[in-house]
């Protein structure tokens, strides 16, 4: 793990930290594209083939049956079910508040009625990861905003267990939210199936949800065939810690993100050299205790501790555009004002990322690989479209006709000009 002053980073070092998984994304493009084409051509047969190849499971049925969902309730501790229920309430609360901010709009300008009316995307496919860990929490994070937005048909797809079943907690989360169908398919083959449709899995209008680099590249490649939310790949955190930050908390939050994926990326920026060394020590201590050592160790290659003034830390964070940003400083709210790019921000030492991952109510599906520069995390608007409309009468058409005719003729589109001219000349 690199530990260095921000102003002494070489161009190459800075690029390596900031670009994290981008080159890997390009490297696997061909493999992913081949799988997608096969699913497009051969439907369920290809989906089963790749599930055998990558998940080691021979599936007869891709759809999870009602019996399998009922059986799941006998396999999951009631405390987990209760936690799913409580998290669901908080997530619904926050996303309903988001929905309250979205309204139809109608104005009148120069006699022209201009408006905008909101509609939900009809068919939604939610990808729920399930490779190195299963993610029932992602069921809540993807399906609840879609439900609140009013989407008609919501399906989940998630990798099977080694026994060829759906992960029980994932199935229960889907059942509790009330999704329409659940499929036990993961990886590229799941994204292909949702994008093109197969005999069993319906083609959707939008695919949302996070995943590893294979899933993320697959989403990128099917964009256009369907809509996608954004690229939500291997997890990331950037922490801004001043000299008051608790080094143990910083280390814990570092490990909490690194344990997701060998490609996870964790960057700590701090104002104090002593704090940097203390944090590094704590990370190594926590690493010794950690359950998922191998994954965390690999993630360390994408990680760094950087030292600089508070301004330098903020500037670096804005360049990096992290999925999660933790601000562990004296006055985190003041720093938030200077943050231009981040998926979600966690303010102060008692707001660790895992609270947002599971329970507070904000969404944990967030843009990675610098996508926070231009994309928000998952929210109700991801599932909404705004249809604009207008109504003119002869008088308001006359008023605006000069602009339209002039610009249309300047573009050489005389048909456009004529469609207006003929109307205003008509007796
Ligand atoms: N950005 C976010 O919002 C967010 C949220 C939650 C999780 N995540 C990330 O989601 C990811 C989950 O990853 P995961 O691996 O645990 O589950 P996953 O479901 O994303 O991927 C598992 C699937 O990958 C496929 N796969 C594995 N190796 C392959 C190969 N060599 N070629 C082709 N396909 C292959 C398999 O089909 C398998 O079913 C992690 O990176 C985690 O950090 C991100
Ligand atoms: N930190 C992940 C987003 O990168 C979300 C998550 C789900 N479960 C645990 N964590
Ligand atoms: Zn997490």
89 and 59 share one domain:
yes
Are residues 81 and 139 both part of a single domain?
yes
Query: 353 and 208: one domain?
Result: no
Bridge pairing between strands 112-120 and 105-109: antiparallel
Q: How far is CA 272 from CA 182, 276, 278, 305, 351, in A?
A: 49, 6, 10, 11, 22
Cα separation, 371 vs 64, in Å, equals 33
375 located within any domain: no
User: Is residue 383, in this structure, part of any structural domain at all?
Assistant: no
322 and 238, same structural domain? yes
> Ligand nearest 210 Cα, by number?
1
CB count within 10 Å of CB 59 equals: 18
Measured by CA distance, the residue closest to atom 22 of ligand 1 is 131
Tokens of 243: 């000299």
- Judge whether 205 and 124 are in contact, CB under 8 Å: yes
> Can you tell me which atom of ligand 1 is nearest the CA of 129?
19
Residue nearest atom 9 in ligand 2 by C-alpha distance: 357
Alpha helices in 20-166 (DSSP H): 22-27, 29-55, 66-75, 78-100, 136-149
Residue 315 lies in a domain: yes
Where does a domain end: 232, 249, 266?
Answer: 232
Residue 381 lies in a domain: no
Asked if 169 and 224 sit in the same domain, the reply is yes
**Is 366 a domain residue?**
no
Predicted local confidence at residue 41, as pLDDT: 98
Residue 279 CA to ligand 2 centre (angstroms): 22
- Are 177 and 279 part of one and the same domain? no
Whether residue 205 is found in the same domain as residue 246: no
Report the CATH number at residue 279.
3.40.50.1980
Residues 30 and 175 in one domain: yes
ipTM (interface pTM): 0.99
pLDDT tens, residue by residue, 131-173: 999 999 999 999 999 999 999 999 999 999 999 999 999 999 9
The pLDDT value given to residue 1: 87
Query: What is the number of structural domains in the chain?
Result: 3
Residue-wise over 101-115: b if at least 16 C-beta within 10 A, else e? eeeeeeeeeeeeeee
Active site residues: 323-324
CA distance 248 to 349: 11
Q: What is the DSSP string of 59-82?
A: -S-SBPPHHHHHHHHHHS-HHHHH
Domain of residue 12, residue span: 2-20+234-360
Supply 383's token pair: 């599932």
- The rounded Å distance from CA 387 to ligand 3 centre is 36
Does 324 reside within a domain? yes
Ligand 1 pocket residues where CB is under 6 Å: 54-55, 129-133, 138, 159, 186-188, 210-212, 214-215, 232-235, 260-261, 264, 323, 364-366, 368
Q: Is residue 352 part of a domain?
A: yes
* pLDDT tens-digit readout, 270-293: 999 999 999 999 999 999 999 999
Cα(327)–Cα(422) distance, rounded to whole angstroms?
Answer: 62
* 142 close to ligand 2 (CB < 6 Angstrom): no
Same-domain check for residues 115 and 57: yes
The reply to whether 64 and 191 lie within a common domain is: yes
Indicate the residue among 311, 338, 360 that finishes a domain: 360
Q: What is the pLDDT of residue 26?
A: 78
The annotation status of 127 as a binding-site residue, yes or no, is: yes
Query: Which residue intervals of 290-380 are DSSP H helices?
Result: 293-299, 310-320, 332-336, 353-358
Judge whether 180 lies within some domain: yes
pTM over 0.90: yes
Domain boundary among 208, 232, 256: 232
Please give the pLDDT value at position 126: 99
- Those residues of the chain that have pLDDT short of 70 are none
Claim to verify: residue 203 and residue 265 sit in the same structural domain: no
Report the alpha-carbon distance of residue 260 to residue 24 in Å, rounded.
17
Residues 208, 249: one domain? no
């Amino acid at each position: 793990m690199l530990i260095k002053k921000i102003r002494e980073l070489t161009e190459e070092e800075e690029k390596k930290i900031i670009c994290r998984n981008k080159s890997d994304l390009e490297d696997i493009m061909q493999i992913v594209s081949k799988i997608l084409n096969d699913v497009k051509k051969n439907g369920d047969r290809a989906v089963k083939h790749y599930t055998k190849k990558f998940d080691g499971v021979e599936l007869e049925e891709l759809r999870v049956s009602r019996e399998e969902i009922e059986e799941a309730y006998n396999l999951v501790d009631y405390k987990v079910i209760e936690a799913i229920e409580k998290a669901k309430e908080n997530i619904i609360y926050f996303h309903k508040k988001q929905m309250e901010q979205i309204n139809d709009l109608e104005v009148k300008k120069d006699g022209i009625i201009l408006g905008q009316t909101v509609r939900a995307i009809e068919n939604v496919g939610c990808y729920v990861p399930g490779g190195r860990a299963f993610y029932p929490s992602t069921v809540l994070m993807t399906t609840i905003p879609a439900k609140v937005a009013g989407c008609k048909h919501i399906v989940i797809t998630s990798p099977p267990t080694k026994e060829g079943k759906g992960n029980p907690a994932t199935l229960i989360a889907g059942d509790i939210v009330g999704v329409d169908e659940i499929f036990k398919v993961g990886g590229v083959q799941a994204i292909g199936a949702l994008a093109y449709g197969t005999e069993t899995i319906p083609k959707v209008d939008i695919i949302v949800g996070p995943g590893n680099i294979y899933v993320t590249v697959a989403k990128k490649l099917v964009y256009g065939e369907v809509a996608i939310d954004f690229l939500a790949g291997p997890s990331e955190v950037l922490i801004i810690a001043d000299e008051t930050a608790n080094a143990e908390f910083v280390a814990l939050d570092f490990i909490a993100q690194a344990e997701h994926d060998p490609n996870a990326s964790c960057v700590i920026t701090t104002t104090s050299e002593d704090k940097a060394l203390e944090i590094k020590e704590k990370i190594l201590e926590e690493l010794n205790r950690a359950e998922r050592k191998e994954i965390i160790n690999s993630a360390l290659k994408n990680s760094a501790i950087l030292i600089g003034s508070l301004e330098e830390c903020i500037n670096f964070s804005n360049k990096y555009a992290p999925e999660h940003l933790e601000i562990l400083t004296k006055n985190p709210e003041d720093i938030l004002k200077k943050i231009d790019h981040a998926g979600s921000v966690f303010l102060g030492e008692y707001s660790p990322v895992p609270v947002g991952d599971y329970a507070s109510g904000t969404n944990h599906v967030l843009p990675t690989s610098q996508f926070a520069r231009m994309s928000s995390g998952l929210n109700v608007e991801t599932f909404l479209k705004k249809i604009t409309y207008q109504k003119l009468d002869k008088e308001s058409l006359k008023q605006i006709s000069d602009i339209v005719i002039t610009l249309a003729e300047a573009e050489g589109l005389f048909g456009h000009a004529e469609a207006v001219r003929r109307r205003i000349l008509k007796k």
